[in-house]
Amino acid sequence: EVQLVESGGGLVQPGGSLRLSCGASGFTFSTYWMHWVRQAPGKGLVWVSRINSDGTSTTYADSVKGRFTISRDNAKNTLYMQLNSLRAEDTAVYYCARPQNSGSYYYWGQGTLVTVSS
Amino acid sequence: DIQMTQSPSSLSASVGDRVTITCRASQSISSYLNWYQQKPGKAPKLLIYAASSLQNGVPSRFSGSGSGTDFTLTISSLQPEDFATYYCQQSYSTLMYTFGQGTKLEIK
């Protein structure tokens, strides 16, 4: 059974940093691209970032470019997102997701809440 | 960047109604369009992929159509469990996927 489990969320002050993790199981993690999607409270889904299977290629939404860094450790079956220079508008539930061949997301984690507030 | 625009942003309907939600892309995305249902506090659930392919396990009252820039999600006969928020998503650009802003389907 495929499972994605996020962790690392919490309360952080503006300008602070946080590292999110997404542990994967039930599939060959090293062969799949992985993505992060976020959702601010009461708002819609927003694509954040993606990384290719071996970690050599990454892309980011303009809103997080230069502040967030996606990475992965295929030996540990874990996806990461380093969040730096956090702003109030980064407050959201962060989901990791595994795309299918069509680019659609069938598998999602349960989400981890990041709250940026003083 | 490819922008996705959904309409309407909210919709009131009754059990048994036929409902259609539209999604328009800012440029052609072929059939790289997916639809999701999300209920409060839950991760999104994939309903339709590649514009018109029904995900395994999703009831046949859900259907998708369209290609290029204009797409629709249709629910043929609304059931109580269908009241939720629906999102379209383009997966044409492998550099950057984008979602529509969502359509909240409420009970009339």
Q: Over the stretch A50-109, which tens digit does the pLDDT of each residue have?
A: 999 999 999 999 999 999 999 999 999 999 999 999 999 999 999 999 999 888 999 999
- The verdict on A38 touching B (C-beta cutoff 8 Å) is no
Averaged pLDDT score across all residues of chain B: 96
pLDDT at A118 > cutoff 90: yes
**pLDDT value for A33:** 95
Q: Do A103 and B92 touch (CB under 8 A)?
A: yes
- The verdict on B96 touching A (C-beta cutoff 8 Å) is yes
On chain B, the residues whose CB falls within 8 A of the CB of A101 are none
Chain A stretch 49-88, residues whose beta carbon is closer than 8 A to a beta carbon of chain B? 50, 59, 61-62
With vertex at residue A60, the alpha carbon angle to CA A117 and CA A3, rounded to the nearest 5 degrees, is 80
Q: Which residues contact A49 (CB under 8 A, 6 or more apart)?
A: A35, A36, A58, A59, A60, A61, A64, A68, A70, A81
Contact A87, A95 (CB under 8 A): no
B23 pairs with which residues across the strands? B6, B71
**pLDDT value for A64:** 97
On chain A, the residues whose CB falls within 8 A of the CB of B1 are 62
**pLDDT value for B108:** 87
More confident position, B16 or B108: B16
Residue-wise pLDDT for A7-66, tens only, equals 999 999 999 999 999 999 999 999 999 999 999 999 999 999 999 999 999 999 999 999
Q: Which residue of B has its CA nearest to A105?
A: B46
- Would you put residue A10 in left (φ > 0), alpha (ψ -120 to 50) or beta? left
Residue B101 — pLDDT band, cuts 50, 70, 90? very high
Contact A57, A33 (CB under 8 A): no
Nearest to B36 by CA among B95, B94, B91, B108: B91
Instruction: Please compute the mean of the pLDDT values over residues B37-59 and round it to a whole number.
Output: 97
Query: Residue A104 and residue A45: Cα distance in Å, rounded?
Result: 14
**pLDDT value for B79:** 96
CB atoms within 10 A of CB B81: 9
